[in-house]
Structure formats: structure tokens, C-alpha cells
Chains A and B, each alone.
Chain A
Amino acid sequence: MTINDLIQVFLFFFLLIGITPVLGNFMERVFTGKKHFLQPVLGWLEKLIYSFTGVSQKDESNWKSYTWGLVVFNFIGFSFVFLLQIIQQWLPFNPARFPGVSWHSAFNTAVSFMTNTNWQGYAGETTLSYLVQMTGLTVQNFVSAATGIAVLLALTRGISRKTTDKLGNFWVDLTRSTIYILLPLSILLAVVLVGQGVIQNFKPYETIHTLQGSEQIIPMGPAASQIAIKQLGTNGGGFFNANSAHPFENPTPFSNFLEMLAILLIPAALTFTFGKMAGSVRHGWTLFTAMFILLIAGLGIALYGEYSGSTVVGHIPHMEGKETRFGITNSVLWATATTAASNGSVNAMHESLSPLAGMVAMINIMLGETIFGGVGTGLYGMVIYVIITVFIAGLMVGRTPEYLGKKIQAFEVQMALIALLSPCLVILLFTAFASVSHAGLSGLNNAGPHGFSEMLYAFASAAGNNGSAFAGLNANTLFYNLTLGIGMLIGRFGVIVPVLAIAGSMAEKKITPFSSGTFRTDNSLFIILLIGVILIIGGLDFFPALSLGPVIEHLLMNSGITF
């Protein structure tokens, strides 16, 4: 690594930490209905949405009807994206005349974008029309992110309110997150990205004659508008197959820096928002610190793995699956950030990373996407770990565990465990199933432990709603489209429903006043305990699987063995 590499990494984290309280504070004002500077500009749009849909801002619902609204809304989104892909050949804005997508691929993609996973079984530039990309996928980019924020807000209200069953209004949360947070940031980012060279047009694909006289067809399309939200909303589904490694999607180091910052921006700032809304900014920063430590630790291991290179190909460090303009450090920093946050966009091919860097990516996903994690989803995932941590701490000292003044009882712990174990179940069982079935093995692009890693990564990515891949795996098959689609659904709703149940149960409790015996959740002892719980409960489940994949690959690679 050069000094320049270090400066870039430092600058990145410096900005991230600096923006967190500013954006976090603004979001708190938006979500609690206080006055803020965007109201005079966009307030009319919020009102228009309420009057068109018939939503009354004052109506609040209990956890069950909040969940119901969310599920129905998501199902409509899924159906629309599914149908749009099937019938795209009869619809306008399809200059490349793509045929309808197969039903299982359409199912996979519709689930993928609805659940904020944005796993791409298809290649955008050779599969989907501009109409599908815009009105299907871009919309889900927004509303799936807003759905994540809404769930977090419901949980926050459950914690901060007392003796009520009201958790807020899903439609209001959805509208405000979209109109005041996601949309303005996306507009800004999209315009700046085009300034760097990202394309945004409705032209047909351009056929050109290269300098050497052969033909090259250059794809076009409204890319920037989708790329901006796919980065900000921790979605990650690229306009093109190569995602943010594609020069039209990420043309310069500056566009790369902004897109990378956009990955972590909102999830990081939400820790501040959460702290403020739940009545303890200090607790918000505590969660931020725990996440930050895990992120830096992962980054360190990944950089070490990448810069120690590979004896097999005899070149240190190697540029396979990386772009010249980004180099090694920016590729590794992105890979770490995109898997820590459940973004899943890539600017280098994760499959060709060194085994250690690939393993860090997998662990980031397997820890439940809680190291900053997805927009909203990361933080409610982290709160699940917090509940387990205060429960374990309570057992150790023999007191009823409390969290921010709320008693943690059997119901909360049960729900927390369901939320923790549902994704684990998908990852381990589905990978096991794929690795003994012909349909699973026939999709592999690499042999040996790396082939196993392809499957393990795929199901981790689906269950964690990440969306990145060891992309050599040919996943656009009936088997993978269905299993990964189901995995994404379990990974999404198997967490959302228990989290909302916890929110409902906590809202009904009284607030226990803080006393000298209360276990503190805002100091360094708590950070250590929390990280311990995350690594032991979240990580240890996967140790045997990781040993069969990246761990053994690392050892074999260093002995010069190939497959």
C-alpha cells in the first residue's frame, strides 16, 4: 500500500463519521414530523401523496396492521415487477427488442428487488428494457429501502413509547423516507455522477466501428438515475452486468468515491437518528462504534489478503477482476463496505478476490448484515443482537434484562432468535442441499474449495439480502432462481416480522426508571460484549462452512495447489 492508498481510506472514513450526525439529525426531524429545510420545497409532494392515497397522518396502527400494510405493499410491488418482465416485448422503451424474461428468472428478479437484495441472475444490458429498469426496478430500489427504514422506525417507537399498541403509520414513514431522504439525495448524486461520465439517456444502443475496424455495440439507457438510488438505498442492482465496475456506471475514481460513500451514508447516519429518537444519542454512537470496529477489522484482513497476493499466479498483487482506475485498495474498500452494508454492488469481481478478502465479504454478510447493514435493516438487525446481549448480561448478573428502560422478557428473546436464525438456516441448509445436488453443482465456474464458496456466497448473499455474488456461478437456472428467491424471502420477512412483533410487545411495556443496577448500554464494556455476541452467535454458526471454503482455499493456495 502507498501513502496515497492510506489517504483515500482515511478520507473516506473521515467523511463518513463527519456526515453521520448531520444527516442523522436531519432524518430525526423528518421522521418525527418536526420542521426541516426541505418541507417548503417538497412539502406539497408529501401532501399530494396523502390526498391521492387517502392516508391520514394522524392514524397510527398496531404492529399487526403495520406489518400487514407492509406485506401487501411489497406483494403488489413484486407482482408488478414480475409481470412487467414477462410482457416487456409488447411494451414501449425496449429499443434493443428484448424478449420476455423466463418466469423463474422474473420471479427471482422481482423478489430480489422487492426484498432490497438486488441479486442479479440476469445481465441488465442484454435482458431488460429501459421501461422495466425504470418503472420496475428503480421504483423497488426506492420503496424497498424506504420499507427498511419504516421497520426501523416502528421498532424505535416500540422502544421509546410506553403502554401503547401504536407503532406509527407505515404509509407516512414510507412517504417521508422516500420524498425527503432518498429522492433528494438520489437527484444530487445522479447529476454529479453524470458529470463524471455515467450515462443517462433513452437512445438505442450505438453501433460503432472501432479503430481496428471491427464492430462494437455500446449499450445506452437511463443508468445514472438508477445507480444513484442503488448505492444510497443499499440496493446494489446494477444497470449493467458488471455493476459499478462498468465504466458507464462508475467512470472515474471520484465517481467511485461518491458511490462508495453512498453505500454507508444512510445506514451510518441512522445510528444517530435511532439514538436520538430512542432517547440516548450516546447509545446511537455506541452502536456506531461497534459497527465501525467490525468494519475496520474486516477491511484490515481483506487488505492483508489482497496485498499478500497469490503464489499460484506468481504476481503480487494481482489485478484479476479489478479495474485500472480503481486499483487494489479502492476495490477492497468497496468490497468490504458493500458486504458490510447489505448493498451488494461491486466495483471488482468478488469471485477473483484473494480467499481471505472473499472470506471477509462472506463473514460481513453472514453476521446478518449488521455492520451498518442495509438502510434500516442493518440497524434493526443490530438491535436484535443488542437484545441478545442484554439478555446474556442479565443472566450473568441475575437481573431481569432491560434495554433503554424496557424489560426484555421471554417473548422478545424468542423473536430475536427467530430473526437471527432464519437467515442462518437458509445459508447452511440451502448450501448443503446445493452441494449434493446435480442442479446445484452444474452451475459452478470453479472447482475445489472455491466452487463450494460460490454456492455458500450465493445463499449467504440471498439470505442476507446483499445481492453481491461470486458471479461465476451460473445462477440463472430454474434451481438457483427458485432456491435463491425463496432464500431472499425468508431472509427478509423472517427478520421483519419478528422485529415488528418485538416492537409491538415493547411498546406495551412500562418504562423502568434508570437505576444504579441498570446494565449500561452506552459504554465500552457494552461494545466489547456486543462484538463478542455478534462474533460468537452470528459468526460461529458458519465456521465449519467457511473452513471448507475460503479457509482451506487460502491454505492450499499458499502451497501452490490449483484445481
Chain B
Amino acid sequence: MHLPTPSGMSRRHFMKHMATAAATAPALQFISDLRAHAQDIKKAQKACILMWMGGGPPTIDIWDLKPGSKNGGEFQPIDTKGDLQISEHMPKTAMQMDKLSVVRSMSTREADHGRGRYYMHTAFVPNPTVVHPTFGSVVSQELGAKRSALEIPAFVSVNAPSGSPGFMGARHAPFVVSSNGQIRNASLGDKKDRLGQRLRMLSVIETNFINSKRGEMPKGHREIYKKAVNLMTSKQMEAFKVAEESQETKDAYGTGGFGQGLLMARRLVETGVPFVEVGMGGWDLHNNVFNTLSTQRLPQLDQGIGALTADLAQRGMLDDVVLVWMGEFGRTPRINQNVGRDHWAASWSVMIGGGGLKGGQAVGKTDRDGVRVDGKAYLPGDIWATVSHALGIPSKTVHRSKRGRPMKLANGGSPIKELIG
């Protein structure tokens, strides 16, 4: 197996230079197993793809329609292959709904973009004394750290503001890439043969600063560099190259940023990346909601979800890959004077499927006009607990903040019974 290494140096020799930079033994885990075959890497590995709808999507027009209500809006529901109806502008997704479910009883209280984004990504409300890890960072720590064959970051974010790793530290930060799959500056160019001596010198300077008692940040810097060098020299970088898919596949996912991002996500989870977040913006529809949805947002969304679900199922990966679709909050059932919907966190929907979870269901419900949850309501912690269950992360897992405060996995949420069956 040929790996690109600086000339005159074996890959193992080269990686050792990175290892000498490390003060502690665990850094050796970055040295990848040369004998790992591509086939081994591709074997069933659990993963989560989060589709993030920046701005707060009007779920009342997508997953939980209210025909006949004053709040119903312009769209009609259609039947699906599952046991629920969704928007008429989601026909391709409708064909896959036997594999996906909708939680229609989210009630989350945070209706400000920043706070909602934080709450939905972390399961915790913002608190000035601690920064909670975004859930991709949790998965990076719980699953990514154990995948020694993985040479690229365990948490990739495509066009999405995934949030911060918080107290889990920079090594679990999202690796943010754009959906065209081009990673800037990842090529060594003509300086390949000098990387070894450059890194040796760097290590001396870095160690001096790390040993000078200036807190955690200087150490984090070295870890990031280790990851960056690992990535630069890895064959797994191929996973980012969506351009290499057939035109047919690219067209099936949709050629916009969202579709291509989902296609990259599939390639990444195939390679062993346990968490990928793909962002789609433009949901903050304070005006002209129906026209924007039917002509712009929903066709893209529908095509992307439809293609990804079908593709994963066809490849036999859907039982291992959890799909989650959410935004900061939903939008007001009441239609405002600008034919828009405003921020609304009291009653809205999240879509979730794959990963062995039960599909085809509507979990929970809202009242006739969509303004209240009828019966049991769910929080982001329950969604992430469900995801953790599907990924095999033990529900009793407790993390500790830098001050040693215990933080329960998913803020102590419980897996949703109807989904885990």
C-alpha cells in the first residue's frame, strides 16, 4: 500500500517525528496501523449524520402539517411509505419515510438563534461558567478516539456552524470544510522532504512554551498540529473528494451545497468518520415563507434526504448510520403580516432515522393548530440520548468539565421508547 510520505523516509519514520513532539504516550495512538486494509476500514462502523437547518425551519410546513387550521398555511400533506404524512413538497423523502421517523413533540423554550443553536447542539442551556461540547465533539471523544485506523478528524462539519468542543478541548473540534471537497493548504507542495526537519525544530520551540506554565492552550496547539500532519499525509483524504463520484450520483443528491455535502458525508462515514454535520441555511423565514419553501428550500432538502437515505440503505449502511435533522427551533404556527413565520420553540419537529431506530412513525403530537404539544414533550437531550443509544454510547456516561463538575451524557435525557422499540 503506497502512502505519500516525504521522500527518503518511511511513513512510520515520518510519523515518529510527530511522536517525538509528544510528551505523553497516548500520542502514539496517532501512528496508524500500516496493515489496515481499506476493506477493514469500511466494515460496519457506527456514525451519525446531522443535517443542520440554520435559521430555524418551519416544521409545521414540512413534517407536521395542519390542514384546516387557521395556521395551516398553503401546503397539503401527502401519504408516505411510513405511517405518517408529510408535506406535498417532499415527495422523494415520502418514498423513504418507512426508514425515517418524525418527533413531533419537541418543546425547547430557547427561541433566540444563539441560545437555540447551543441548546440543540449540546442538550444544555447556555451557562456562563462552562462551555458544553457540541454533540459531534462528544461522539468524537466516545467513538473517534477509539478508531485507531482513522487518520482524518472524527468530527467533520460541512458548511455548518457546529459549535464548540467546549471542555472537551480543541482535539474534538469540528473540522470545517466546504462542500466542494477541496481542503485548502493540505498539500505539502515542493517542501515535502523538509517537513521532517521543520517539525523537529518546531517541537523544540513548542515544548519550551508548553513547559512554561501558560495553561492548556499551548498544548492544544500541538495536538492540532499533530492531527493536521496526520491528515496531510493520509490516503483517507480521498473521502473528501465528492467530485470523483459519478455524475449520476451527484445529480441524485442535488448539485447544490446541501446535496453535495450529504454525498461527502456518506463518503466520510464509509471511511470511518463517526460524526458529520451538514449545514443548510436560509430557514429564518420571517416573510414570504411559502413561496421560498416551495421554490427553493424544500426541493433541495427533499432531494438530499431522499437520495442519502436510499443510498445508505442500498449500501447496507443504514442500520449503522443515524440521521438527524433539526434547527435551532421551529417557527410560529401563526402566520405574520409579512406571510412569514417567526421564532417558535414551544411545539415543533425533529426528524430522526437509521442506525437501527424504528422508522415510519410520528412520535408525539401537537394540537389542532400546532401551538402546543399534546402529551409528552421532548428535549434535545432525548434526541441525543436516542442517538447515543443507536451508536452504542452507554447512557450512564458522565463527562467532567474542567472544574470537575460531572455532566451527564445528553444532559441526562432518555432514549425515546417508540424509536428504540
A joins B in a complex: no
